[in-house]
Copies of this chain bind each other. A is one copy, B any other.
Amino acid sequence: MPRRSPRFSTLRLDRFLPYELSVLAAKTSRRLADEYEARFGLQMAEWRVMAVLGYFHPMSSNGIVVHTSMDKAKVSRAVGRLIRRGLLTRRSHPSDRRLLVLEFSPRGRRLYAEVTEVARAWEAWFVGAITPSERRRLHRMLAALSRRLDGERPGGAGFLTRRHRRPRRR
């Protein structure tokens, strides 16, 4: 049935960079998430919170939002689950009571060490698909692409024309 379609302006999805990135990232996340879930009962968002906390030690939820590129609702829920599991402690900041200071509990600290070990090993295996110099190059390319998205939209202000009337939610 997959007959090649006739001559048309055609676009190969599998050579379309956004698609390539999206598929690989999804596959990677899925694999890693299964790993964390199976071994530690951690969801991706929870692991990310712990990862930031492992690096920047006492830290507010908002600080985690900044370092993690998750939105604050997601962080709030992940933090909630971690606290309920006794892996994190939350106390209010002495001089700014809007802030909640998050820290590992001893159990959380130990779990963090375990998880990083597994994460590191998994990444080493995964990255083994390319050479170390390619790895560095890849890092630079991904950073360059990411920076581009932070800048201007293509074509400047006039790029978006003929907008679709969007069916408003809510």
Chain A residues within 8 Å of B, Cβ to Cβ:
1-6, 8-13, 15-29, 31-32, 35, 37-41, 48, 51-52, 54-60, 63, 67-69, 99, 101, 109, 113, 116-117, 119-123, 125-130, 134-135, 137-139, 141-142, 144-149, 154-155, 160, 162-167
Most buried by B among A4, A6, A23: A23
Q: List 12 A-B contacts (CB under 8 A).
A: A10-B54, A15-B139, A16-B51, A17-B138, A18-B123, A19-B48, A41-B165, A126-B145, A126-B149, A129-B141, A134-B141, A137-B137
Given contacts A1-B59, A69-B23, contact A121 B54 (CB under 8 A): no
CB pair A9–B116 under 8 Å, yes or no, is yes
- Chain A binding surface SS class: helix
Most buried by B among A13, A116, A144: A13
CB pair A32–B18 under 8 Å, yes or no, is yes
Distance of A50 from chain B, by nearest CB (Å): 10
Q: Hey, which chain B residues are within 8 Å of A21, CB to CB?
A: 21, 24-25, 28, 142
A21 and B28 alpha carbons, distance in the complex (Å)? 8
